Structure 1
Amino acid sequence: MQTVEMKQPAMDIPSGEELISRARALIPILRQRAVLGDERRSLPQETINDLQAAGLFRILQPKRYGGYELSPKVFYDVVMALAEGDMSVGWVYSVVAVHAWQMALFDDRAAQEVWSKDSSTLISSSYMPTGRATPVEGGFLFSGRWGYSSGCDHCEWVFLGGLVQQPEGQPIDARTWLIPRKDYEIVDTWHTAGLKGTGSKDIVINEVFVPEHRTHKMYDGFTCNSPGNQWNTAALYRMPFGQVFSRAVSTAAIGALRGMLDCFLETAKVRVNVMGAKTNEDPSVQLIIAETANAIDELSLVLKRNFDALEGYAERGEAPPIEERVKYRFQASFAPERISLLASRLFKAAGGAAVFTTNPYGRFLADINVGRQHAANQFQMFGANWAKVQMGQQSLDFFL
């Protein structure tokens, strides 16, 4: 099969440090635009343009299609940096840019359709398994409705979750389906308490033909053996799909907490309450600052330790053991819960001024709480599964 080669010379690929620096340079303007994104319930196009110009969407993209093929650790550092400015930006960036990684797992014909004319083309998603596919010659007829497709206004394709209609008694065939913009409708349902700027609207499809090569089996993502691996051979693309994706919907919260703490520190240094007490001399305030800073450090280090291990397995051509996967899965899901509790304490410590929209505390808190609601961040079920595995029982989760 003929393939498209768009590989960049190594000298044109920025270092991870440079890309993280570019993301951090955007923090001030992202804070300024955050109110506008909330009002529009979608990110300003200028923000998407800035992310594109900085090359940030290319971090996990295959070199064959103009990408950088860098470590996921660089990617998540960029997510956290952007979320310091505006969690909606960090969230949209995370869940859109990670799709370049999954695109590398598809049959190469799919990647050609998306990137052969424009390697900056973006893909949104909703992995809710609400789609239903009927097998037909050459592919499937696909229908369904999905919620929460973050950043869909800025994307020309979408990844959607669904099941193939199977005879009774056959195993479940769950896949991701790649659909072009002409074949789906965006329905504006995004009126929310937080993450307003993500524009996470509904996607509707009715009896659209999808060729076989534009599907990716979830089982292949679980076994780290996908069709695209014969073209995209870097170890990066041999990591479990569930591990990479779950961190894409929890990591922005770490950056948002850092942003909230930074704003709090600026105020706390000089704030005096109505009783004349200095905030920076309050032991309870000092303690929440220390606990929050420590949690950010701890959560970041655990994330990087886990991906050091996952990268090691991939480089050796090994599948990570289930015992480690279920632990990592819980740790990804539990981060937003811890963060939401710390954010609530920071909000309270900021006093009455925190309630005004002229200050960012309320937006940070609302965004963190809404991000915690994602299905992948429901830590209770993942914690129970990890405990069962530690006690010698079989894992009931295959999205690992």
Structure 2
Amino acid sequence: MSERLHTAGTTMLDRARDLRPLIEREADTAEAQGKLTTPVVDALHEAGLFGINVPVPLGGAELSPRELLAVFEELSYADPSTGWVVMATTLENGTAGAYLGDDAVERIFTGPRMPLFAGQGTRPGTAVRENGGFRLSGQWSFASGMLHAQYVHSLGAIEGTDDVRIFITPIEDAKMLGNWDVLGLRATGSIDYSIDGAYVPESQTHVFTANEPLRGGAIYRLGVLDQALICHSGWAIGVGRRLLDELSRHAVARAGRTGQIAGSDAFHAGFARAEAAFRAAKALVHETWEGAERTLDSGRVLDVREETMVRLALNHVTWTVADVARFVYASGGTSALRDGLIQRLFRDVNTGTQHITSSPQVLHECGRELAGLALDQSWVIFALEG
């Protein structure tokens, strides 16, 4: 393991940007079928974008936090569902590559394509020890990218202990339960699934709070949760920028017509406020992760205040973008009401706000720590404990 933070440059960002026309063309079809289209999935594989968070020793790009933010922003600008699927699968194959045992990695990370993972890592199933491994059972929700995955990433609590782990199982061990009739992010295929007594070798598991990687560099000292915060922050930034750009195009196209928003002082002021709020929230994300990168590059892990700030930055940008979406929807009039890009962006943003990483509980805990009311406490997932 390298102590230093690996940086890869702009190659992956450039490739993501090159795919924008294809992703935009396929977005409506993907939404209708509930998963990304085959041309988009193939193109993402060919560009290496499913390997952006995989350790370099396993053939991945192992981007730094701000490099990841930029790629997730670009893909989510092109289509929020595409950005969401890529962030979910790359979080899970990257952390698997960093934390799983050697036997598991040798089995899984082979072949011409990066393996894709999907699953859920917040509400645990149950695991029972058996013959050097575990029997895993449970039911999980919101497995983003499941319809494209070869492996499943599931949280499980080991019976009779306080040990909570991530379990990696072949897709064949999971029963697909469907249940993705939702407001937005429809092309992510974030279906429910269950596993009934699947055997999982110990090397295909890792402690949920693992932050000492077996492969790769300093980014993996963040652990699974903090890496997820990068994913969701980049997604929110990309969708927020697209909303404002689409509203600008809408207004310009109607300039000169009587009664249109292009001639409204109230709209001009509202757009300025929305732009300023969005840029400020984006700046907080980048400022926070710039500091986190310095910490990681010095060989340390984030302290309590830094952990607070990466959570707060995500919460703030997510709910700021939700405010932006409401302004864009209201300003778009009947064009936003009808089926189309602004309507889809509005639905996708309001679906994204429901993710547990941006919940009100996290905001309350951030405020408690920032106000000096959580002395001698540390972050345990989404709560501060003493």
The two structures have a TM-score, normalised by structure 1, of: 0.88
**CA displacement at 1:396 relative to structure 2:** 6.7
Structure 2 portions without partners, runs of 5+: 1-5
Matched, 1:205 2:195: yes
2:264 alignment counterpart: 282
1:288-327 Cα shifts (integer Å, max 9, x gaps): 3223333332233222222222222222221211122022
d(CA) in 1 for partners of 2:358, 2:332: 27
Matched, 1:367 2:371: no
d(CA) in 1 for partners of 2:218, 2:378: 27
Q: Is the 8 A contact 2:177 2:191 kept in 1?
A: yes
Instruction: Pick from 292, 296, 320 the counterpart of residue 310 of structure 1.
Output: 292
1:186-213 Cα shifts (integer Å, max 9, x gaps): 2211111111010001121101111111
Instruction: Pick from 354, 379, 383 the counterpart of residue 363 of structure 2.
Output: 383
1:147 alignment counterpart: 141
The 1:345/1:246 distance shift into structure 2, 3 A limit, reads same
Matched, 1:263 2:246: yes
**CA displacement at 1:145 relative to structure 2:** 0.8
The 1:329/1:68 distance shift into structure 2, 3 A limit, reads same
d(CA) in 2 for partners of 1:395, 1:333: 20
Instruction: Pick from 273, 280, 297 the counterpart of residue 291 of structure 1.
Output: 273
Instruction: Pick from 76, 84, 88 the counterpart of residue 83 of structure 1.
Output: 76
Instruction: Pick from 56, 66, 71 the counterpart of residue 73 of structure 1.
Output: 66
1:188 alignment counterpart: 178
Matched, 1:301 2:283: yes
Q: Is the 8 A contact 2:183 2:351 kept in 1?
A: yes
Q: Is the 8 A contact 1:133 1:165 kept in 2?
A: yes
The 1:83/1:313 distance shift into structure 2, 3 A limit, reads same
d(CA) in 2 for partners of 1:52, 1:16: 19
Q: Is the 8 A contact 1:128 1:162 kept in 2?
A: no
1:71-118 Cα shifts (integer Å, max 9, x gaps): 121122111111112101111111111223212122222222211234
d(CA) in 2 for partners of 1:233, 1:361: 40
Q: Is the 8 A contact 1:194 1:369 kept in 2?
A: yes
**CA displacement at 1:278 relative to structure 2:** 4.1
d(CA) in 2 for partners of 1:326, 1:65: 31
d(CA) in 2 for partners of 1:354, 1:272: 17
Q: Is the 8 A contact 1:250 1:371 kept in 2?
A: no
The 1:356/1:296 distance shift into structure 2, 3 A limit, reads same
Structure 1 portions without partners, runs of 5+: 1-12
What are the within-5 Å matches in structure 2 for residues 312-331 of structure 1?
A: 312-331=294-313
The 1:140/1:87 distance shift into structure 2, 3 A limit, reads same
Q: Is the 8 A contact 2:251 2:262 kept in 1?
A: yes
What SS does the corresponding residue of 1:145 show, helix, strand or coil? Answer: strand
Q: Is the 8 A contact 1:183 1:208 kept in 2?
A: yes
Q: Is the 8 A contact 1:58 1:97 kept in 2?
A: yes
1:348 alignment counterpart: 330
Matched, 1:252 2:245: no
**CA displacement at 1:343 relative to structure 2:** 0.6
d(CA) in 2 for partners of 1:251, 1:282: 32
**CA RMSD of superposed structures (Å):** 2.1
d(CA) in 1 for partners of 2:38, 2:322: 29
Quick one: which amino acid aligns to residue 130 of structure 1?
P
2:108 alignment counterpart: 114
Quick one: which amino acid aligns to residue 139 of structure 2?
R
**CA displacement at 1:219 relative to structure 2:** 3.0
**CA displacement at 1:354 relative to structure 2:** 1.4
Q: Is the 8 A contact 2:68 2:230 kept in 1?
A: no
Q: Is the 8 A contact 1:65 1:119 kept in 2?
A: no
d(CA) in 1 for partners of 2:221, 2:152: 22
Instruction: Pick from 23, 45, 50 the counterpart of residue 16 of structure 2.
Output: 23
What SS does the corresponding residue of 2:147 show, helix, strand or coil? Answer: helix
d(CA) in 2 for partners of 1:366, 1:21: 28
Instruction: Pick from 337, 346, 364 the counterpart of residue 319 of structure 2.
Output: 337
2:95 alignment counterpart: 102
d(CA) in 2 for partners of 1:26, 1:282: 36
**CA displacement at 1:142 relative to structure 2:** 0.5
The two structures have a TM-score, normalised by structure 2, of: 0.91
